[in-house]
Amino acid sequence: MTALVCIALVLVGLAVGASAQLRRYPGGRRAAFGAELREERRQLASARRRLGEVKRSLRRERSAAEGRIRATETGHRARVRDAEHALGLLRRPPGRGELLRRVGQLGVYQHVVVHGSVELPLDGLRARAEPRARLLLLPARGASRRVSFPDDAEVDQAVVRSLVSLIELAAATERLFAGRRAEEIAEAESTVAAVRADRGEVEASRKALAAVLAAQEADPRVPPALGALERARKNWFTATGAWPPP
């Protein structure tokens, strides 16, 4: 950067500063810069500074109270989101679960029995052994399904009876699982409703803001600061014939 550029920047800065001084202390250059009104300028600057400090203090109080509202609202939304997420996980279908046994095209899983491409929910499913090593599946809803096994599967009546026992045990376990799951879903739904309704912290923070605003309306610092500034402005007007900005 050359010396001329530096000088130009300094001159621009001085011009901007002088223009601001003339706006804040109107009445001409002697009023804004001269020694005659030095005391009036000091009083006006002091009154402006004092009122500015009071206003900044009030803004900080309001900002803090508004920040508490935002924080409590954010916390409430997060709690609702967490409760809804937990409910969504419980409502999600459990899928097939662990494979307990497979014989030919028949697969007995933790939550379903699969035969070929057909899935039968275990909840409410009954099974019965039939002659010639066949298995009859009786779902709680829908048509029954007869399962035959290929000759090379080496399935006899004993294997079919063991499948019946396994399916009945898995169906009983699934009934317990479904009952617990229904209870957990109902409990989670109640939790979501309770969390949504629990806006106590939010309402408390809103009341706190209202209290802050009410207190600021009667803040004892404001009238003296405003009065001092108005007196300083009047003194300036009396001395210069020009009203300075607040």
CATH number where 106 lies = 2.30.29
Question: Above 60 in pLDDT, residue 244?
Answer: yes
Q: Which two tokens stand for residue 22?
A: 């003339």
Predicted confidence at residue 24, as pLDDT, reads 93
For residue 31, give the nearest of 229, 12, 15, 39 by alpha carbon: 39
**CA distance linking residue 206 with residue 221, whole number of Å:** 24
Residue 4's pLDDT band, with cuts at 50, 70 and 90, is low
Q: Considering the domain boundaries, does residue 91 fall inside one?
A: no
Model pLDDT, residue 5 = 52
Q: How far apart are CA 107 and CA 102, in angstroms?
A: 4
135 found inside a domain: yes
AA identity, residue 150 = P
Look at the chain and report how many structural domains it folds into: 1
The partner residues of 145 in beta bridges, in order of sequence, read 137
Q: What is the CA radius of gyration of the chain?
A: 42
Among all chains, which residue has been given the structure tokens 């954010």? 74
| Residue 181 is assigned to a structural domain of this protein | yes
pLDDT at residue 132, as a whole number: 85
Quick check: is 180 in a domain? yes
- The tokens of 186 are what? 């109902």
Tokens of 2: 């050359």
Structural domain span for residue 177: 99-197
- 112 is a domain residue: yes
Which residues, including other chains, have CB under 8 Å from residue 109's CB and lie 6 or more apart? 96, 97, 98, 99, 100, 122
What are 119-169's pLDDT values in tens digits?
A: 999 999 999 999 888 899 999 888 899 998 876 667 888 999 999 999 999
Residue showing tokens 């203090």: 57
Q: Does residue 170 belong to any structural domain of this protein?
A: yes
Residue 222 CA to residue 245 CA, distance in Å, equals 18
What is the structure's pLDDT at 18?
72
Q: Is the pTM of this model over 0.75?
A: no
- Do the domain assignments include residue 185? yes
